Amino acid sequence: MLVAMGLTAMVVFFFYSFVFPPPKAPEEPVDPEATAVVDSATPSPASHGAAPAEADDDDSARGDDDSAAPAVAAVVPEAPKRELEFGWSGVGAKWSSLGGGPAEYVLDGYLAQPPETPWLPTWLLHKIKGEDVGPFTLACSEEEVHGLVDVIRAPDIAHLPVGIDSRGIASDSVQYAVVSSSVDAAVFATTRDGIEITKSYAFPKDGFVTDYTVTIRNVGGTAREVTPSFGVVDLMPEAESRYGPKVETHLQVDDDHEIADEAKLRKKGELPFIGQMSWWGVGGKYFMLGLEPAEPMTGTAAFTVADEKAGLFASTVTVAPKLLAVGESVSYPFKLWAGPKTLEGLEGAEMRMASSVDFGIFGLVAIPILSFLKFLYGLLGSYGLSIILLTVTVKLLLFPLTQKQYRSMKQMQDLNPELAAMREKYGSDKEALNKEMMELFKERGVNPMGGCLPMVVQMPIWFALYRVLWMSADLYQAKFLYFCDLTLQDPIGLFPVLMSLTMYITQKMNESPTMDASQQKIMRFMTLFFGVIMFTLPSGLVMYIFVNNILSILQQWVIKRGHGEPVPAGSKA
């Protein structure tokens, strides 16, 4: 069973090795000349809550571009681009007339991740190669150095493009007129082929949900059929490492949460879907820019490469065509989420997008663990201490199983002389040896697998805690000891080494007398293998396993003292 669990861990390890591709050379940067000038009347980004700039009365800002240029291309507009800045509690946002949508979404209280997390072994390797990587440091990210998190990764594109025909969202890279703007709302509009598209935003007082409504109206002289499509587009850079953070396209179609990273989309080009779409967007592990319609939309959807060179990708939903009479309009209300992917925030806003916090098959264990960690954090003010207390709590809950484990091990030790005699008697006849051993175990009431039960129970907890650290924005950049972020690997590799030592000691204390030499070698290899894996896992998880091993060693020592002499052969424990 232990070997099977080890092989399972190997499968998981190599699965993530394929999921996270190795780093590649960076793409060429987007032409800086494509960046438009911000309106001089716009208040500074620091003035959250300030009134936006007055609406532009020049109708030249209204676009009538019929070209099929990509919606995400950083096109220099004919008329000056307008940018309006808004702010509310926790957010500093900027809206652009290019595409009539958000251009910046800065979140207070969330520091941007450094471009590359320093890790001592990698740093030493670069030094040995003679590369100039600068001094090694354990200093944590600061706002002055890396700034705050901006949910928007590419400011000069249409992030919420709207299509009305077979060209889809590719026709929406135009300048919208600023119809109106105030502290709590903004309206943008443009006209294409006799169809007026209006995008209206109602800003919250706090939180990360903006009410967003798209209105499509026939202003031409004849009835027109429109095919509405709604996209979310953003930059999806290549992953810096196999295990580093990634940005992905997301879609909830029927009951399935579909995702795709940039490597998969570059290879496939497009991934189509058909069904009922609950929400869609582009985001990483901890932050999301997404749309959620008032009611799920039935139609088609696709993940697409919007601009391969610039690294821009899109999640798009297209609904059934609709015939609009002259002057007739149709509206599509949405909730726009631009913020951290926290269960508490998404569920509090009654968002179906809460399914983006995907713990996988371990959700039944991961969600209670996350809730308990947040409860402990409220008491202790430290997620590091919360993880330690979680470890102690789990250990206390499993104490009866651990006692049973030790008693089973003691019974096996008591049988060791008889088992050794059987091995000598039957030699290489494994079938006869195993039959006699099972008869002996049955006669003495010994369960040879009883010592594995606590480990079997612990494995789902380990995987669930890994998913919590990997997916939950609640633990984003949680500091403890010399860790700047418990969701990242140990920057110097100290805890993986200590954890490997404690795992080896635990294994030696728990070795079963039924193991032959080859089995013992396999178990030692598995200990080494687990130790290597620990270098790539979140430091919070490694710390949990390390503390758990320390408690197991102390607990077994206490239980051993309590049991005293070995249980006499033939006794029923």
Model confidence at 273: pLDDT above 70: yes
Residue 129 located in a structural domain: no
191 and 324, same structural domain?
A: yes
Model confidence at 150: pLDDT above 50: yes
Model confidence at 15: pLDDT above 60: no
Task: Kindly indicate the confidence band of residue 470, based on its pLDDT and cuts at 50, 70 and 90.
Answer: confident
DSSP 315-362: EEEEE--EEE-TT-EEEEEEEEEEEE--HHHHHHTT-GGGGGS--GGG
Higher-confidence position of 12 and 484: 484
What total of structural domains would you count in the chain?
Answer: 2
Task: Kindly indicate the confidence band of residue 563, based on its pLDDT and cuts at 50, 70 and 90.
Answer: low
Residue 570 located in a structural domain: no
459 and 484, same structural domain?
A: yes
- β partners of residue 280: 251, 291
Q: Would you state the pLDDT for residue 241? A: 56
Asked which of 356, 376, 400 is the last residue of a domain, the reply is: 356
Query: Which amino acid belongs to residue 207?
Result: G
Q: Would you tell me the crossing angle of helices 383-397 and 453-471 to the nearest 10 degrees?
A: 160
470 and 548, same structural domain?
A: yes
521 and 504, same structural domain?
A: yes
Instruction: Please classify residue 400 by burial: count the beta carbons closer than 10 Å to its beta carbon, then call 0-12 exposed, 13-18 middle and 19+ buried.
Output: exposed
Q: Would you state the pLDDT for residue 143? A: 61
Residue 140 located in a structural domain: no
Residue 342 located in a structural domain: yes
Model confidence at 570: pLDDT above 80: no
Task: Kindly indicate the confidence band of residue 314, based on its pLDDT and cuts at 50, 70 and 90.
Answer: very high
In whole angstroms, give the CA distance from residue 91 to residue 106: 6
In this structure, of 81-95, 184-198, 341-355, 445-459, the range with the lowest mean pLDDT score is: 445-459
Q: Would you state the pLDDT for residue 406? A: 67
Residue 48 located in a structural domain: no
Q: Which tens digit of pLDDT belongs to each residue from 323-366?
A: 999 999 999 999 999 999 998 899 999 999 999 988 878 888 88
Q: Would you state the pLDDT for residue 5? A: 52
Indicate the Cα dihedral angle 337, 343, 344, 349, nearest 10°. 40
In whole angstroms, give the CA distance from residue 252 to residue 241: 27
Q: Would you state the pLDDT for residue 197? A: 95
In this structure, of 105-119, 248-262, 264-278, 358-372, the range with the lowest mean pLDDT score is: 105-119
CATH of the domain at 199: 2.70.98.90
Model confidence at 265: pLDDT above 80: yes
Residue 419 located in a structural domain: yes
Q: Which residues of 16-45 are buried (b: 16+ CB within 10 A; e: fewer)?
A: eeeebbeeeeeeeebeeeeebebbeebbee
Instruction: Please classify residue 55 by burial: count the beta carbons closer than 10 Å to its beta carbon, then call 0-12 exposed, 13-18 middle and 19+ buried.
Output: middle
543 and 510, same structural domain?
A: yes
Q: Would you state the pLDDT for residue 504? A: 83
Asked which of 312, 329, 356 is the last residue of a domain, the reply is: 356
Q: Would you state the pLDDT for residue 40? A: 32
Please identify which residue in the block is written with the tokens 């509009």: 189
Task: Kindly indicate the confidence band of residue 52, based on its pLDDT and cuts at 50, 70 and 90.
Answer: very low
Model confidence at 138: pLDDT above 50: yes
Residue 415 located in a structural domain: yes
Q: Would you state the pLDDT for residue 506? A: 77
Model confidence at 73: pLDDT above 70: no
- 10 lies in which domain range? 2-39+68-112+147-356
Residue 27 located in a structural domain: yes
328 and 378, same structural domain?
A: no
- Count of beta carbons in the 10 Å neighbourhood of residue 352: 15
Q: Would you state the pLDDT for residue 572? A: 43
* Mean pLDDT, rounded, for 103-127: 77
367 and 321, same structural domain?
A: no
Output the CA torsion sign for 430, 436, 438, 440.
negative
Q: Which tens digit of pLDDT belongs to each residue from 494-503?
A: 898 898 888 8
439 and 381, same structural domain?
A: yes
In this structure, of 246-260, 300-314, 351-365, 399-413, the range with the lowest mean pLDDT score is: 399-413
430 and 351, same structural domain?
A: no
Q: Would you state the pLDDT for residue 569? A: 40
In whole angstroms, give the CA distance from residue 254 to residue 297: 10
Q: Would you state the pLDDT for residue 382? A: 92
* Mean pLDDT, rounded, for 404-427: 70
Model confidence at 62: pLDDT above 50: no
406 and 335, same structural domain?
A: no
Q: Which tens digit of pLDDT belongs to each residue from 542-556?
A: 998 899 889 888 877
257 and 188, same structural domain?
A: yes
Q: Would you state the pLDDT for residue 447? A: 64
Asked which of 324, 356, 388 is the last residue of a domain, the reply is: 356
340 and 402, same structural domain?
A: no
Model confidence at 294: pLDDT above 70: yes
